[in-house]
Amino acid sequence: MAGKGGEEQYIIFKLGENIYGINIQYVREVVEPKKMIKLPKAPYYVEGVMDLRGKLVTLVNLSRILDVEEDSSTSKRKVLIMNTGSAGDGQQETETGLIVDQVLGVLRANSVESEKSGVPSEVIDKIIRHGDKLILVLDARKVLDLIGSEMNTDI
């Protein structure tokens, strides 16, 4: 979602000790994790499913997908409900929820404050300098593609 002057908005969250961001256009809503049903023989990164207003949401532990250390405290955990499908393409919208350790808020940033990532990671799009902090901005499409391809190979 580009604003004035190339400004974009990001949901900012923590995974372990690092701060990450994801473009807000890919996040439909942020919810509290509800009663989860564990799935037998599910891939290591799928924590289970939950019911969200009558729809099943697959809960994916983003720390496990990115191979970063998880915060042992679960009291601040949130679920980012992702926009992963299009209602106009004739297919039912897929519900995927990314579990994060803590949501810190929304950040507006423009291209001046960010730089393309030199980090050798297929899912990091860019890095934003915000004060004395570095925010690793994830490429939402690549993260969702990675989850989809992992699920297909784990079946």
| Tens-digit pLDDT profile for residues 19-70 | 999 999 999 999 999 889 998 999 999 999 999 998 999 999 999 988 888 8
| Overall domain count for the chain | 1
Residue 86 belongs to what domain range? Answer: 4-154
Q: pTM score, two decimals?
A: 0.83
Chain position carrying tokens 């990450």: 20
Q: Is a pLDDT exceeding 60 seen at residue 90? A: no
Q: Is a pLDDT exceeding 50 seen at residue 155? A: no
User: Per-residue pLDDT averaged across 80-99, rounded?
Assistant: 71
For position 80, which CATH number holds? 2.40.50.180
Percent of the chain past pLDDT 90, that is, above it, reads: 46
- pLDDT band (50, 70, 90) for residue 130: confident
Give the model's pLDDT for residue 31: 96
Mean model confidence pLDDT for the chain: 83
Q: What is the pLDDT of residues 10-21, one digit of tens each?
A: 999 999 989 999
